[in-house]
Amino acid sequence: MGMMQDYIEEAERDLLHTYNRYQVVFDHGEGVQLYDLEGKEYLDFVSGIGVFALGYGVKEYNDALKAQIDKILHTSNYYYNVPAIEAAKGIKKISGMDRVFFTNSGAEAVEGAIKAARKYAYLKDGSTDHEIIAMEHSFHGRTFGALSVTGNEKYRAPFEPMIGNIRFAKYNDIESVKALVNDKTCAVILETVQGEGGIRPADEAFLKEIRKICDERDMLLILDEIQCGMGRTGSYYAWQRYGVKPDIMTSAKALGCGVPVGAFMMTEKVGQNSLVAGDHGTTYGGNPLAGAAICSVLKLFEEKDIPGNAAKVGAYLFEKLDELAAEKADIKEHRGTGLMQCLEFDHPVADIINKALEKGLVLINAGTDIIRFLPPLVISESDVDRMTAILRECL
């Protein structure tokens, strides 16, 4: 463990301790395999928290980035650049949205979405006391706006006061939403499939009813698809399977497949009646490297039918995890859709995850008692078999 242990100790001296990391230093990847500094091989069922959808060492993607690096990396948004323009066009095509704003992360995309919703309401009545309804057990990010709509008291408490006028409803409980709606409500924000909060898909009736309420009252529906979007659940965006279109949506993670990138998108109606010149900006957002990454991702997603593979292998994963859940008394529940699933246990799962890591399988949790499965979207059924075999040994 020589060299690897040295790096781990160095990290603990130098980096701010805000992460409890697993005791491994990853060095490179190939396909759906990761390799640590000592050359040990691991099957990746985390994909960098849902980021590395295409797997590792994809020549076409790497070449596209290298070519862009040799041209230009940054221009700022005072000027146009072709990769960002092409990327926006591609995003509009897969999402059916009308306007795109590029950010560098998911949290930033949520910040922009909140600002757009508030500005939309402000332009209608000139007041600044509008309310946003968010969901309990949601997760939208760690910056102040994103944290303010994150429905986990533990994450928010030390940093109060948050941004104001946020109300929390129960996910998949339409009555709890209706109870909070009033003349000041300007938007409802939710994840189409809750991620950190335990892999919970929205009920179709719940989503459709929220859409109806928003339409009746000219409130905006903001759907956060940072984790569940980009093919993860079997369609480009999870809301497309429900047929419920948001007014504003956020995307990140697999949108860049490794290059830090995010975006929020909106309908033309919101685009024409919210943020204008001077209202919002970012130095790096939509830089040529990020644009080139998105363009390459969109091209490869289409060529390889990545959402189709996620649906097919996701169904197989569902079967296999169902079998495992039936076998093991300590597994309370199995939830999820596509390649975004979880097993909930009646005890903490840290030991299982550490054992799996020793046996060459990378897994993460969602809360203390849930194991989350977020593999690269290119995995095969035989990868699922390998994963379940190792996991079975660890239980």
**Both tokens assigned to 33:** 């395999």
In percent, how much of the chain has pLDDT > 90? Answer: 99
Asked whether residue 183 falls in the same domain as residue 319, the answer is: no
DSSP per position, 125-193:
HS-S--EEEEEBT----SSHHHHHT-B-HHHHGGG-S-SS-EEEE-TT-HHHHHTT--TTEEEEEEESE
The answer to whether 61 and 296 are in contact (CB under 8 A) is yes
- CA separation for the pair 54, 307 (Å, rounded): 11
Rounded-to-integer distance, Cα 46 and Cα 104, Å: 21
Q: What is the mean pLDDT of residues 103-108?
A: 98
Strand 33-36 relative to strand 26-30, pairing: antiparallel
> How many H helices and E strands in the chain?
15, 17
CA 197 to CA 139: how far, in whole Å? 7
Supply the range of the domain harboring residue 235: 60-303
Domain final residue, candidates 303, 336, 361? 303
CB atoms within 10 A of CB 153: 9
- CA angle 129–130–132, rounded 5-degree value: 135
Q: Are 65 and 259 in contact (CB under 8 A)?
A: yes
Within 13 A of 212's CA, how many CA atoms are on the CB side? 9
Q: Are residues 165 and 285 in the same domain?
A: yes
**Strand bridging mode 364-365 / 370-373:** antiparallel
Query: Could you tell me if 49 and 102 lie in one domain?
Result: no
CA terminus-to-terminus distance, the chain: 26
- For the beta carbon of residue 76, count every other beta carbon within 10 angstroms: 13
Q: CA nearest 285: which of 90, 140, 78?
A: 78
- Last residue of one domain, picked from the residues 256, 287, 303: 303
Q: Stretch 283-299: mean pLDDT, rounded? A: 98
Residue 346: phi and psi, rounded to 5, are -95, 20
- pLDDT above 60 (res 1): no
What's 375's domain CATH number? Answer: 3.90.1150.10
Phi and psi at residue 44, in whole multiples of 5°? -90, 115
Instruction: Determine the average pLDDT of the residues in 199-207.
Output: 98
347 and 371 Cβ atoms separated by less than 8 Å: no
Average pLDDT over residues 174-191: 98
Q: Same domain for 298 and 310?
A: no
pLDDT tens digits for 335-362?
Answer: 999 999 999 999 999 999 999 999 999 9
Output the domain CATH number for residue 146.
3.40.640.10
Same domain, 116 and 175: yes
In this predicted structure, the answer to whether residue 159 has a pLDDT above a threshold of 70 is yes
- The DSSP result for 298-309, as a single string, is HHHHHHTTHHHH
Give me the DSSP letters along 77-110: TTS--HHHHHHHHHHHHHH--SEEEEESSHHHHH
The residue among 252, 235, 253 whose CA lies nearest residue 244 is 235
What is the distance, to the nearest Å, from the Cα of residue 97 to the centroid of all Cα atoms in its chain?
Answer: 18
Distance CA 196, CA 198 (A): 5
pLDDT digits (tens, 9 = 90+) for 75-105: 999 999 999 999 999 999 999 999 999 999 9
Helices marked H in 251-305:
268-272, 288-303
Q: What percent of the chain has pLDDT over 70?
A: 100
Kindly state whether residues 136 and 150 are assigned to the same domain: yes
**Residue ending a domain, choose from 268, 287, 303:** 303
Alpha-carbon separation of residue 318 from 56, 152, 338, 340, 376 (angstroms) = 24, 28, 8, 10, 16
Rounded-to-integer distance, Cα 377 and Cα 395, Å: 25
Q: For residues 294 and 335, state if they share a domain.
A: no
pTM score, whole prediction: 0.97
Collapsing DSSP states into helix, strand and coil, what is residue 2?
Answer: helix
Task: Read off the tokens for 380.
Answer: 């095969």
Contact 363, 371 (CB under 8 A): yes
Q: What is the mean pLDDT of residues 280-287?
A: 97
Residues 8 and 131 in one domain: no
pLDDT > 90? residue 114: yes
Q: Is 128 exposed, middle or buried (0-12, 13-18, 19+ CB in 10 A)?
A: exposed
Is the domain of 74 the same as that of 48? no
In a shared domain, residues 289 and 253: yes
Q: What is the mean pLDDT of residues 318-324?
A: 98
Segment 161-173 mean pLDDT: 98
For 126, the token pair is: 């000139």
Whether residues 183 and 275 fall in one domain: yes
Domain count, the chain: 2
Distance in angstroms (rounded) separating the CA atoms of residues 222 and 246: 6
Q: Are 143 and 111 in contact (CB under 8 A)?
A: yes
Q: Give the pLDDT band of residue 2 (cuts 50, 70, 90).
A: confident
* Average pLDDT over every residue of 186-206: 97
In a shared domain, residues 137 and 88: yes
